[in-house]
């Protein structure tokens, strides 16, 4: 083989040349998945821009919808609280009327027995109104001390009860359903 022939093995004389006479390298065929012209690129960018704008618009609408739902829920919660309070007030007004009648009876010279009867009726009315709202008195006397239900105010030294037993109630506690509204203030046993 001559030098010239081996030289041709590196450069093909039949390969196309550009205007300056240098050999052009053939570009591989374009991937069909890629845009092939500037027009295709512009169309692709326009399509992606439209999709982005559409998604941004959807996002803004979703955020606005969520804000509207939150406002509506807040308004409904406020109305529910207002109506619940109004319902309780409707039940308390007749109790207030009975208080006024009992006071008027006392001022007119009613006996202690009549006054106690009036106060007892008021007490029953008030407890009934509270029980409708699941308000109940916390059990205390004789119960094991429970820091979630009781507040220890004092202790009583005794051998007769297990340590940590409620020996007396200083002020009653109340809960609404399972939620403590006010713990019972109590005396608690301890060993001497």
Do 116 and 156 belong to one domain? no
Question: Pick from 114, 133, 152: which residue ends a domain?
Answer: 133
Is position 102 within any domain? yes
Is-above-0.75 flag for pTM? no
Taking every pair of Cα atoms in the chain, the longest distance, rounded to a whole number of angstroms, is 145
Contact 102, 119 (CB under 8 A): yes
Q: What is the CATH number of the domain that holds 187?
A: 2.30.22.10
Phi/psi class of residue 109: alpha, beta or left (left: φ > 0; alpha: ψ in -120 to 50)? Answer: left
Q: Which residue has the higher pLDDT, 10 or 95?
A: 95
Do 107 and 153 belong to one domain? no
d(CA 188, CA 146): 10
* Residue 63 token pair: 């955020």
Contact 142, 165 (CB under 8 A): yes
Do 139 and 89 belong to one domain? no
Do 170 and 90 belong to one domain? no
Do 67 and 84 belong to one domain? yes
Is position 153 within any domain? yes
Contact 143, 165 (CB under 8 A): yes
Q: What is the CATH number of the domain that holds 117?
A: 3.90.20
Number of domain units in the chain: 2
Question: Pick from 133, 162, 178: which residue ends a domain?
Answer: 133
Where in the sequence is the domain holding 48, given as residue range(s)? Answer: 37-133
Do 42 and 95 belong to one domain? yes
For tokens 């019972």, the residue is 184
* Residue 180 token pair: 């403590």
Residues 3-57 pLDDT 10s: 444 444 444 455 455 555 555 555 555 555 554 688 888 889 999 999 999 999 9
Q: Which residue has the higher pLDDT, 93 or 80?
A: 93
Do 123 and 143 belong to one domain? no
Is position 1 within any domain? no
Contact 82, 74 (CB under 8 A): no
Please report the pLDDT score of residue 29 as a whole number: 52
Do 129 and 154 belong to one domain? no
Contact 133, 167 (CB under 8 A): no
Phi, psi of 28 (to 5 degrees): -65, 155
Question: Pick from 133, 165, 180: which residue ends a domain?
Answer: 133
Angle at the Cα of 121 (from 116 to 124), degrees rounded to 5? 125
């Amino acid at each position: 083989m001559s030098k010239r022939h081996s030289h041709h093995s590196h450069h093909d004389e039949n390969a196309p040349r550009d205007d300056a006479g240098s050999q052009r390298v053939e570009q591989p065929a374009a991937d069909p998945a890629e845009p092939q012209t500037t027009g295709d690129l512009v169309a692709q960018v326009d399509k992606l821009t439209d999709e982005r704008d559409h998604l941004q618009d959807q996002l803004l609408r979703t955020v606005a919808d969520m804000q509207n739902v939150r406002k509506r829920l807040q308004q409904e919660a406020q109305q529910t609280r207002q109506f619940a309070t109004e319902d309780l007030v409707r039940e308390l007004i007749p109790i207030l009327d009975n208080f006024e009648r009992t006071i008027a009876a006392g001022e007119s010279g009613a006996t202690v027995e009549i006054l106690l009867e009036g106060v007892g009726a008021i007490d029953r009315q008030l407890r009934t109104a509270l029980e409708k709202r699941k308000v109940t008195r916390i059990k205390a006397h004789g119960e094991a001390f429970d820091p979630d239900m009781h507040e220890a105010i004092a202790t009583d030294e005794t051998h007769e009860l297990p340590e940590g037993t409620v020996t007396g109630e200083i002020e009653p506690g109340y809960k609404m359903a399972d939620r403590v509204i006010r713990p019972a203030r109590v005396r608690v046993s301890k060993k001497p």
